[in-house]
Each structure stands twice: as C-alpha cells, then as structure tokens.
Amino acid sequence: MDYFLLQAHSGWRFIVILLVVATAIKMLIGWLGKQNWRSIDTNLLLASRGAIYVQVLLGVILYILLQKWTNMRFTAEHTIILLLAVGGVEFASARAKKAAGSAGKFRMAFIGLAVSFVLIFVGLQAVGGLFAMS
Ligand code: HEM
C-alpha cells in the first residue's frame, strides 16, 4: 500500500509539472500576444488545479502512513513549500476569474502559476529534485 502510494505520488508529479508549465506558457503567450481569453484557458487552469490537488491528497495520505512528521527538514522543505505551491495555483484561478479583461486574466494566471512552479522546484529539493527517481 505504502509502496503503491509512493509510486503514484512520485509519478503523478510529472502530470502536475507538465500541466503547470504548459498552462503558464499558454498564459504568457495569451498575455504578451494580447489574445482573447477562451474556454480552453479556463479548462487548463482547472486541470492544473485538479492535478495538484490529487498530488496533495496522495502526499497527505503518505505523510500520515509513513509518519514523516518527525523529519522536520522534510516537513518544512517538502510539505509546507508544496502546500504553498497549491496557493499559487489557487491564486492563479481565483484572480483570473475576477479580472475584468483578457489581459488581466492571463497576467494573473501566469503570475500565480510561475510562483507555483518555483515553489514546486524548491519543494522537490528535499526529495532529490524535480526529476529524481527513487
Ligand atoms: C505539487 C505537490 C507535490 C509534489 C510534486 C510532490 C512530489 C514528490 C516526490 C517526487 C517525492 C519523491 C518520491 C520518491 O521517493 O520516489 C515525494 C515524496 C513524498 N511526498 Fe510529496 N509532493 C508534493 C506534495 C506533497 C505534500 C503536500 C505532502 C504531504 C502533506 C507530501 C508528502 C510526501 C511524502 C510523505 C513523501 C515520501 C518521502 C520519503 O519517502 O522520504 N508531498 N513527493
């Protein structure tokens, strides 16, 4: 069970990274290229949000099962920083929803996703880095 969850949590990171990076690039192109906000943009944000929540859910279950809370370095560097990365994606979708024009939506979404990606990068250092495999 632990092994299966760890493999799922480890592998799912690539889906999260792919979606966050691809969506951020799409938002940047939309912002700089002065494009109109379309339903695909809303859906990409929704997919990134869904993917990161699946990852957190797997992580929280693992954290409880593996009793990692005694390892403060891991908790601070992986758990807390990655929960903040979820905040970045939340910021992106909430602000994009609120912003009036397309440019504002793209800008806010890009900023939130870029912050989230930096936090994912930093938070993965405690488990060997972005592409580390166990
Ligand atoms: C975007 C969010 C996250 C990503 C991309 C991510 C990614 C990873 C990766 C790549 C590993 C290493 C897996 C391996 O050793 O093969 C890992 C381990 C782990 N993660 Fe996460 N994680 C995220 C969020 C979380 C959260 C929020 C928690 C806890 C609440 C968590 C708990 C754990 C635990 C307990 C391990 C096992 C560490 C060990 O065996 O030493 N993760 N995570």
DSSP string, 70-122: G-HHHIIIIIIHHHHHHHHHHHHHHHHHH-SSHHHHHHHHHHHHHHHHHHHHH
Contacts of residue 68, Cβ cutoff 8 Å, sequence gap at least 6: 62, 74, 75, 79
Question: Is the beta carbon of 63 within 6 A of some atom in ligand 1?
Answer: yes
Q: Distance between CA 77 and CA 82 in Å, rounded?
A: 8
Cα–Cα distance measured from residue 106 to residue 108, given in angstroms and rounded to the nearest whole number? 6
Question: Model-level pTM?
Answer: 0.95
Distance 75 CA to ligand 1 centre (A): 10
61 lines ligand 1 (CB under 6 A): no
pLDDT at residue 68, rounded to an integer: 87
User: In this structure, which residue's CA is closest to atom 35 in ligand 1?
Assistant: 63
Q: Which residues in the chain land under pLDDT 70?
A: 134
